[in-house]
Amino acid sequence: MSQTRQNSACNIHPLIAGRWSPRAFDGNRAVETEKLAACLEAARWSSSCFGDEPWRFIVADKSRNPEGWQQMLDVLVEANQQWAQRAPVLVLACAAQKFVKNGKVNRWGQYDTGQAMMSFALQAVGEGLITHPMGGFDDEAAKAAFSIPDDVTLMSVTALGYSGDLSLLSQPYQDIETAERRRKPIGEFAFTRWGEAWGEQV
Amino acid sequence: MSQTRQNSACNIHPLIAGRWSPRAFDGNRAVETEKLAACLEAARWSSSCFGDEPWRFIVADKSRNPEGWQQMLDVLVEANQQWAQRAPVLVLACAAQKFVKNGKVNRWGQYDTGQAMMSFALQAVGEGLITHPMGGFDDEAAKAAFSIPDDVTLMSVTALGYSGDLSLLSQPYQDIETAERRRKPIGEFAFTRWGEAWGEQV
């Protein structure tokens, strides 16, 4: 990772501290199939309600499936296409709406798919890769392009690849890429009771 | 971790391979506040749509807040209470339904909360702790107990602590605890087009 930005206040694991969402991908370097398989394997071992494994992925690897990759790029909103065109792999994550086991509504489908994709992203860090998840894509176009049924919810398209040249990004994206990473303090999202900051106990 | 079960087929990062969902907690060993803080910090640096950070946690630490912990234990379904009574920390993860920035519906709230909780769980592995997420709890009772507003969705209660004595579990849970871990093959959830297994390319 040429642009590691580890500025978390607390001492967290390097794999987690090293994950962020860059836009500067190396457009000339494919992702080795073994590395992509390892990311999928990491997602595979994620946890899920009743072990139903509700995550479904459409994997678009430019080097092995250029047509599928182009279709995936095309469903992204234009602002994402600008930089994601240099990402060699695009992975669409979908969440099953019903349990496979009994056909009932699975209210944890999206949550569990998020868990799986975080495992994917962290394995990518371990492989020396970068990821950037996107919510900006055309849902209906993606469903049509990849024959996705109506009983899954399309959640994100994640760009996967190697870190690349920052100067190829437009100036606004270069600025975002080098800006300080920010998050709200723990006490603003972790409570002992709603609104009562957990941090104040420490 | 006294009961590590790393049986994933592929070579994934030890932090990810080492995460599973045991029920045998050590009821006599509290979680150090620094370790709990590190897990929350890991969640904090997760990714979210528009950077809205929709995860909200109610943290019930028996050693620091025994009343809150008991309230959290009480909202679990009875089958979970059986073993979770020995978990020293219970964390309720909730997802904001609307973006903080503009009040519009955030359709990624649950997905992003799942991402944050996977970061939490993996940091726990790094701290030598175990986690077990539960969907089985009384939603309305939890809302009432912790004054949770209506515009968040309650997703899971995660037990956090140290690994403990397997023999304290009831026999069915002992059997689950020592059974082989299983997941569907990658080709059943990763496609190049819906239903066309990605794995067949490899």
Chain segment A71-127, per-residue pLDDT in tens: 999 999 999 999 999 999 999 999 999 999 999 999 999 999 999 999 999 999 999
A181 vs B45: CB contact, 8 Å cut-off?
yes
Give the residue on B whose Cα is nearest the Cα of A123. Answer: B13
Query: Domain B19-165 carries which CATH code?
Result: 3.40.109.10
Cβ-defined contact of A146 to B108 (cutoff 8 Å) = no
What pLDDT score does A153 carry? 98
Share of chain A above pLDDT 90, in %: 93
Provide the whole-model pTM. Answer: 0.95
**Structure tokens given for A98:** 């019903």
Contact assignment for B41 to A9 by CB distance below 8 Å: yes
Task: Tell me the shortest Cα–Cα distance from B23 to chain A, in angstroms.
Answer: 14
Q: What pLDDT score was predicted for residue A5?
A: 55
pLDDT: which is higher, B23 or A200: B23
The pLDDT value given to residue A11:
87
Tell me what pLDDT residue A127 has: 98
Q: Which of A19, A44, A155 sits opposite B108 (nearest CB)?
A: A155
- What is the SS3 assignment for A107? coil
For residue A115, which of B181, B117, B87 has the smallest C-alpha distance?
B117
Q: Could you tell me if A186 and B45 are in contact, meaning their C-beta atoms sit under 8 angstroms apart?
A: no
Contact call for B189 and A47, based on CB within 8 A: no
Q: Do A37 and B111 touch (CB under 8 A)?
A: no
**Are residues A37 and B133, on separate chains, in Cβ contact within 8 Å?**
no
Do the chains contact at A114 and B114, CB–CB below 8 Å?
Answer: yes
Tell me how close the Cα of A154 comes to any Cα of chain B, in angstroms.
Answer: 10
Query: What pLDDT sits at residue B11?
Result: 87
Q: Do the interacting molecules here have an ipTM over 0.85? A: yes
Report pLDDT for A10: 65
Domain boundaries A26-173, corresponding CATH code:
3.40.109.10
Of A21, A44, A155, the CB nearest to B183: A44
pLDDT given for residue A105 in this prediction: 98
Task: Give pLDDT, residue B199.
Answer: 81
DSSP-H helix ranges across chain A: 14-17, 33-44, 66-75, 78-84, 109-126, 139-145, 171-178
Angle A134-B42-B72 from CA coordinates, rounded to 5°: 105
Task: Please state, in angstroms and rounded to a whole number, the distance separating the CA atoms of residues B71 and A98.
Answer: 31
A16–B42 CB contact, under 8 Å = yes
Closest Cα in chain B, distance from residue A14 (Å) = 10
Cβ-proximal residues to A86 (8 Å cutoff; 6+ apart), any chain: A24, A25, A26, A27, A161, A164, A168
Quick: pLDDT tens for A15-26: 999 999 999 999
Nearest neighbour of A114 by CB, restricted to B33, B41, B110: B110
- Smallest CA–CA distance, residue A199 to chain B, in Å, is 8
- CATH 3.40.109.10 location in chain B: 19-165
Extract the tokens encoding A153.
Answer: 């919810």
pLDDT range class, residue A190, cuts 50, 70, 90 = very high
Q: Which residues of B touch A41 (CB under 8 A)?
A: 8-10, 12, 186
Task: List, for residues A12-52, the tens digit of each pLDDT value.
Answer: 999 999 999 999 999 999 999 999 999 999 999 999 999 99
Q: Which stretches of chain B score pLDDT less than 70? A: 1-10, 200-202
